[in-house]
Amino acid sequence: MKSSHVLALLGGAVIGATLALLFAPAKGSDTREKIKDTLDKGVGEIKKEYHKHFPKNQEEGIA
């Protein structure tokens, strides 16, 4: 699987989880906190996968 496919898959998963939280019946402040936590986790996973597939860019200080 190409690394761009992996990043697209992870990005789609984050977007899907965020949309699921938006449509879940919960208090607004609780939903916003869940969205923030989900996005933070998703961004961290995407960065981890990016650095796994592109270690040269990490060494040069890119991204």
Q: Are 14 and 38 in contact (CB under 8 A)?
A: yes
Q: Is the pLDDT of residue 5 over 80?
A: yes
Task: Tell me the pTM.
Answer: 0.47
Arithmetic mean of pLDDT over the chain: 78
> What is the reported pLDDT for 34?
81
Q: Is the pLDDT of residue 61 over 70?
A: no
Q: Is the pLDDT of residue 19 over 60?
A: yes
Place 23 in a pLDDT band, splitting at 50, 70 and 90: confident
Q: What is the 3-state secondary structure (H, E, C) of the chain?
A: CCHHHHHHHHHHHHHHHHHHHHHCCCCHHHHHHHHHHHHHHHHHHHHHHHHHHCHHHHHCCCC
